[in-house]
């Protein structure tokens, strides 16, 4: 405690205990000083926690927006793919119609 809060620890005279043991330079702790330090530390932790909660809220908001954008992009991508496939099948159908014989060949002569 003396290393962290030197002003919270006070050295007193030697103390003789009831059982006859002697304690040299008895140390006394100022509980009020430790309590106030504790209150200050809790206030700092509250600030830190509030800041972290705010950051989490912001990140969750951004995450929701990105999720919505991802879904919109996915829908657009699927719609684009469907349109491309539809166009490709239409072109294939048109080519297939052109390659079929039309019933008459070489002018006005009936087919053989």
Residue 105 belongs to some domain of the structure: no
For residue 76, is it within any domain?
yes
| 33, 5 Cβ separation under 8 angstroms | yes
Give SS3 for 15.
strand
- Residue 30 within a domain: yes
Note whether residue 111 is domain-resident: no
Tell me how far apart the alpha carbons of residues 75 and 69 are, in angstroms, rounded to a whole number. 10
What's the CA angle centered on 33, arms 28 and 39, to 5 degrees? 140
pLDDT computed for residue 108 by the predictor: 53
Look at residue 11 in the predicted model and tell me its pLDDT.
85
Q: Is residue 103 part of a domain?
A: no
> For the chain, how many structural domains are there in total?
1
Q: Is the distance from CB of 22 to CB of 15 less than 8 angstroms? A: yes
Give residue 17's pLDDT.
85
Residue with tokens 């294939």: 92
Give pLDDT, residue 81: 65
Q: How many helices (H) does the chain have, and how many strands (E)?
A: 1, 4
The candidate with the shortest Cα–Cα distance to 58, out of 68, 66, 46, 47, is 66
Q: What is the pLDDT of residue 85?
A: 57
Residue numbers of the domain that contains 25: 6-95
Residue 48's pLDDT is 97
- In DSSP notation, 40-51 reads HHHHHHHHHHHH
Does residue 110 contact residue 101 with C-beta atoms inside 8 Å?
A: no
* Residues of the chain with confidence (pLDDT) below 70: 76, 78-112
pLDDT of residue 22: 87
């Amino acid at each position: 405690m003396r290393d962290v809060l030197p002003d919270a620890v006070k050295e007193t005279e030697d103390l003789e205990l009831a059982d006859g043991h002697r304690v040299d330079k008895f140390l006394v702790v100022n509980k009020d000083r430790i309590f106030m330090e504790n209150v200050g530390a809790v206030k700092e932790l509250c600030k830190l926690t509030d800041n972290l909660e705010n950051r989490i809220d912001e990140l969750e908001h951004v995450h929701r927006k990105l999720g919505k954008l991802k879904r919109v992009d996915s829908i657009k991508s699927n719609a684009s793919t469907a349109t491309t496939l539809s166009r490709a099948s239409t072109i294939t159908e048109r080519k297939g119609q052109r390659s079929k014989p039309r019933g008459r060949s070489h002018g006005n002569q009936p087919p053989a």
